[in-house]
């Protein structure tokens, strides 16, 4: 098994109402069954109109939007708010983002990123007659470790967490816990070819294990319910 990962170039500036799957299909018409397409949250939010007006002269405007998008403040230090969003993600500033958007606007997380991924998957099937996995990715920080990494906030056509519990290890012993969050690892891998400042909003991963394809959902599989979480 080997993976090949490349950026999808040539997607134009995305605007509200745009057919994102159609733009991806036009830019990358040679997708094949089993490819995984990783799409960054920013263009998904733009296409879906998940944006909020923000007064650039009001420093508190950003904070108000962050609080509106949050159901629980987990930590606060200075201007940084770590909160649980209404979607269940715990991240900085509720995922509200001012970079790469028009002046006077902030990008919010999509209402339901798994649904967003399903729509893109359906659109790619309709446009290109292919069965692909789709991941919507965003850039999150994490406790204890510096630097950001991309994670999956939605997926379709690919399992989010692959449970290897009970598989024998190489010595014939049963592994104890090996539930691997493959959609986060795929999102991270895709980020490496996209870069932050180049305007590339999607990537293809070719070569994933066919056993990983199928029904999957970030919300149901990855988001950890508060009662099983030790850190909020």
Positions that interact with a copy of itself (CB under 8 A): 1-7, 75, 77, 82, 89-90, 98-102, 139, 142-151, 160-161, 164, 167-171, 173, 175-182, 184-186, 188-189, 191-193, 195-199, 208, 221-224, 229-232
Nearer to a copy of itself, 109 or 123 (CB): 109
Least gap, CB of 5 to a copy of itself (angstroms): 4
Nearer to a copy of itself, 21 or 200 (CB): 200
Residue closer to a copy of itself by CB (options 52, 122) is 52
Asked whether 99 and 36 are in contact (CB, 8 A), the reply is no
Please classify residue 81 by burial: count the beta carbons closer than 10 Å to its beta carbon, then call 0-12 exposed, 13-18 middle and 19+ buried. buried
Please state the closest distance from residue 221 (CB atom) to a copy of itself, in A: 7
CB under 8 A, 24+ apart: contacts of 170-176: none
Measure Cα distances from 218 to 21, 132, 227 in Å.
Answer: 20, 16, 18
- In terms of CB distance, is 126 or 209 closer to a copy of itself? 209
Smallest gap from residue 189 Cβ to a copy of itself (A)? 4
Report, in Å, the least distance between residue 208 CB and a copy of itself: 7
Comparing C-alpha atoms, which of 112, 109, 134, 114 is closest to residue 124?
134
Q: How far is the CB of 196 from a copy of itself (least distance, A)?
A: 5
Q: Which of 58/168 has CB closer to a copy of itself?
A: 168
Residues in the chain: 232
Query: How many angstroms separate the CA atoms of 183 and 185, rounded?
Result: 5
Going by their DSSP bridges, the two strands 70-77 and 133-142 should be labelled as unpaired
């Amino acid at each position: 098994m080997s993976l090949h990962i490349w950026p999808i170039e040539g997607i134009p500036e995305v605007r509200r109402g745009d057919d994102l799957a159609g733009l991806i299909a036009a830019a990358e018409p040679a997708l094949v069954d089993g490819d995984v397409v990783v799409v960054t949250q920013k263009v998904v939010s733009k296409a879906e109109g998940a944006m909020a007006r923000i007064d650039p002269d009001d420093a508190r405007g950003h904070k108000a939007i962050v609080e509106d998008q949050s159901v629980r403040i987990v930590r606060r230090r200075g201007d940084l708010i770590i909160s649980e969003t209404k979607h269940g993600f715990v991240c900085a500033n509720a995922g509200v983002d001012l970079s790469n958007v028009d002046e006077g606007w902030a990008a919010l997380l999509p209402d339901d990123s798994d649904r967003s991924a399903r729509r893109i998957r359906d659109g790619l099937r309709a446009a290109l007659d292919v069965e692909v996995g789709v991941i919507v990715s965003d850039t999150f920080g994490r406790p204890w470790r510096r630097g950001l990494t991309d994670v999956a906030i939605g997926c379709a056509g690919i399992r989010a967490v692959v449970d290897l519990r009970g598989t024998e290890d190489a010595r014939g012993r049963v592994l104890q816990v090996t539930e691997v969050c493959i959609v986060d690892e795929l999102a991270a891998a895709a980020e490496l070819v996209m870069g932050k400042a180049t305007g590339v909003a999607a990537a293809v991963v070719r070569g994933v294990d066919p056993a990983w394809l199928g029904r999957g959902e970030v919300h149901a599989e990855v988001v950890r319910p508060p009662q099983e979480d030790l850190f909020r």
